[in-house]
Amino acid sequence: MKKFFENSMPEDPFDCQVELADNERCDPTKIRDGSLLFRPSRLVVLNAEKSLVRIQELREDNNSDWNVSQDLIAIQCWTADQYTDVKKVSKPEMEEIIGDVRDCVCKVVFTKMPNANEMALFLREGSQLIESLETTEEEKVKFYKKLFECSQKGEHRIMRGYITKIEDSGMVQFLDADLEAKGETSACRSFYMKNITALTLRLVKYVVK
């Protein structure tokens, strides 16, 4: 029964806790192809061994790809993947932090909104499972409450990029930098602030407790 309610986290190959000197923002030895950096120019790493990066805003320009020193990366670049500290925060605290991201690159983990068909299927299968249990009515009520709470949440998603706007409704407009790096014409995504479960920003990984 416990596994039915579990919403497993997707694998994140870029997630990386590091130790840095006081004047550093990033560990250049831990970046990899596909890492995202913020200088404040939007940079994507094309070849980590050669320190080859691309300015995302100029990706179709002949001067968009260039090699940089590790010192520049370490001292001047934020990354969406590395963090030195992990902090447990409440949902209200997370909303305050999200509001202060500004134009820095970040990584968000959130639960997407389930569609009506997915929700109906989840509730039907969950109800059948609960009714098949040999337990008290009181325990079944608890399971039904948990079932309803879980039905409001979809799968976990991980996105790296930039917050472009936060609407009064709590809807976050987000530029998916991985899609942008691939040259996708529609790289804008959206999610509700209340559905955020984790945020990596400026060397801190915030996790909703």
Given a cut of 80, whether residue 209 has pLDDT beyond it is yes
Phi, psi of 189 (to 5 degrees): -130, 170
Question: Does 134 share its domain with 176?
Answer: no
The answer to the question of residue 7 being in a domain is no
* 9 domain-assigned: no
The boundaries of the domain holding residue 170 are 16-112+155-208
The answer to whether position 178 is within a domain reads: yes
Q: Between the CA of residue 141 and those of 40, 122, 149, what are the distances in Å?
A: 52, 17, 13
45, 126: one domain? no
Q: What total number of domains does the chain contain? A: 2
**pLDDT, tens digit, 9 for 90 and up, residues 174-188:** 999 999 888 888 899
Buried b vs exposed e over 167-202: b needs ≥16 C-beta within 10 Å? eeeeebebbbbbbbbeeeeebebebebebbbbbbbe
Q: What is the pLDDT of residues 76-127, one digit of tens each?
A: 889 999 999 999 999 999 999 998 898 899 999 998 876 677 777 878 888 8
Amino acid 3: pLDDT: 58
Judged by average pLDDT, the poorest of 14-23, 26-35, 112-121, 150-159 is: 112-121
Same domain for 56 and 142? no
Which position has the higher pLDDT, 119 or 168?
168
Are residue 104 and residue 125 in the same domain, yes or no?
Answer: no
Q: Residue 171: pLDDT above 90?
A: yes
- Residue among 125, 120, 160 nearest 143 (CA): 125
Q: pTM (2 decimals)?
A: 0.69
